[in-house]
Structure 1
């Protein structure tokens, strides 16, 4: 495995694109199945407008993509802080990879099964890893 602390961030960025693709493909399949002509949609439509129109299982992928554009932005910044301040250690790399693995597991769970207690537990553990990384980034940047 790479000694770069930026590698986990690159993998999570790629995973985010995978989820975007999955969300788009499943939405367009649902449009077709339901006979929805997106060319006839009024201007200014948003994803939230599809709640209650598309099956929940279809929207779950989009919800997860949105989640991957939220908290992980902190993760990306923390990785850069750690890399630039000498905080690239075996511990921070391990925490970063654990965060990425948990976010991928969270994506798969939310996009398929989506039982909230399990989803929340996965999210909580990932968030604790991110908190640890952020604390270590503060320590590294303060020297």
Structure 2
């Protein structure tokens, strides 16, 4: 079974939810595909991750800022557990005037929206 997530929000709570869902699906043996775009992609910038400069919406986000492991760490763990792949949105990367070197080392490849539709074929994407 294929589990597809489209990550659009840069809020820490939502990024943590993406990581938790991906981890759970990987443990269950699902094929997990995550397309990261817009503000979510901006939150994967190395400079943002190093400074822990993520946007938070509330108390849960404030608590997450104090934890040792980040959503990026959990995504890396999920990749070790199962078939989890992350894709950078080409258009969002262009919009941010960035290259793959600007982002955390967790992505498998860069693709377009139509390219991701091909990857996600047969699954109903969850948009976060």
Higher strand share: 2
TM-score by length of 1: 0.24
Query: By percentage of residues, which structure has more helix?
Result: 1
Under a length normalisation based on structure 2, what TM-score does the superposition of the two structures give? 0.26
Q: Which has the larger radius of gyration?
A: 1
